[in-house]
Amino acid sequence: MITQSHPQQFQQPWYGMFAQAAPEFPTTRLPILSGAIPENLKGSLYRNGPGRLKRGGQRVGHWFDGDGAVLAVHFDSVNATGVYRYVQTAGYQAEEQADQFLMGGYGMLPAGSLWQRLRQGATKNAANTSVLALPDKLLTLWEGGHPHALDLNTLETQRLDDLGFLAPDQSFSAHPKWDPISSEIYNFGVSYSKQGHLHVYRCNQEGAVQRQTKIPLQGLPMIHDFVMAGPYLIFCISPVFLNPLPMLAQLKSYSDSLQWKPQQGTHILVIDRESLEVVSQGEADPWYQWHFGNGYVDDQENVVIDVVRYADFSTNQFLKEVASGHPHTQAEGQLWRLHLDPQTSQVLETYKLMDRTGEFPVVDPHQVGQAHRHTYLSTRPTSDPTTELFREIVSFDHVSQQLSSVQMGDQAYCSEPIYAPDPDHPGQGWILTVVYQAASHTSEVWILAAHRLEEGPICRLGLPSVVPMGFHGTWQPSL
């Protein structure tokens, strides 16, 4: 075990996981703290997120600026090994050598005077948002650029990867959708020039592009996620627009150049999955979302979408404040359902599914694009509404309208729930999450039975050192 000193003087119990750069660890057999690994759980959990929020005494401008570090936990039904590595991006290596932040990012300007920033104003690919497991490599995803390719076992960084088709200005977002029927992978990227463009990609299961398209956008919106619903790809483009001038003048970061313009409403864009051509476009009320849970076509031929919906874009300010340990902006997202006519993009009905504040909505990966019964989210317990980060995982049953939940316990914080299907029992599986125990300043991997969350973890694994809460991950079953 790598020993770590307990960080002193952190602001909130959860800030202990961000107070110092998370140390890497090599492939290590993980101790079982309680329970046993389910026999059918064979494969790898991969998670990505910022591992370092400070360098050379300076703090990042926004949580999204932290250097990406990937956790892999490989399960063989009896044992589990873990490995944690920073993505060796060019920016990370340069800053590691200089021991200071040099480059700009989502929420920070490059180092130096205005003149130096204008001359050298490069943006760092943070490689910190999600991962996509392909047969021969693990991609780390960041929506502002190309992915990095890592070794699936060791997490050694291999290269910045254009996947054989991405032009230099084309990005590959952090929310690809895998179709469980065809094994196709859909994704998008937004490029900014005088006009914004949405690039939409259909790839095969190896990641080779089969078709792509380029759709002009109104203004320069920020787009983080989309929905696959039956034969459609659907974008709900919230009214958050980049004002490019202060960013190009190196006076404001990208994040600080984003403007919330509710008068413009949410733009709905429905795309045919096969042709990648636009089916319809329309306008809806303004809201903001980072993430969709899932989408499908119902028996009325309408689209049903689950989304964690915010009233406005103040969530971005809250996430900026997390990096300081002193969040004070109120930003509460709840799970909503949306019914949409795909032929007109008209929203037919929209309503809140549950009151609890939550994020990271997921479904069984075998139900992506199809009707799903359960949605899983990380939430704040109602008994502790002041806690900024998530301390509970809930399952919402769309048939019974009932919630089941598991709380992490006192001063314990979860990350995104990741669904690992049981290969022998369709419809069943496990929820995997990384838990930070603030009292002991340790991190654990929890395995929960997806349909029996309230029974608590059926297995807890100890990690050698703290792996801070990150953003997204994936489950890759053994072949």
Which residues carry a binding-site annotation? 175, 224, 291, 472
CA 283 to chain CA centroid, Å, is: 26
Residue numbers in the known binding site for Fe cation are: 175, 224, 291, 472
End-to-end CA distance of the chain: 31
Give me the phi and psi of 103, to 5 degrees please.
-110, 160
Burial class (CB in 10 A: 0-12, 13-18, 19+), 326: exposed
Yes or no: say if 323 and 18 are a contact pair by the CB < 8 Å rule.
yes
Contacts of 194 (CB under 8 A, 6+ apart): none
Largest interatomic CA distance in the chain = 61
Give me the phi and psi of 233, to 5 degrees please.
-110, 130
Rg, C-alpha atoms of the chain: 21
Block residue for tokens 């920020």 = 222
Yes or no: say if 16 and 441 are a contact pair by the CB < 8 Å rule.
yes
Burial class (CB in 10 A: 0-12, 13-18, 19+), 322: buried
Give the pair of three-digit tokens for residue 250: 């190196």
For strands 232-237 and 346-352, give the pairing. Answer: unpaired
The amino acid that residue 214 corresponds to is K
Three-class SS state of 173: coil
- Sheet bearing 227-229, strands edge to edge: 227-229, 232-237, 266-272, 278-284
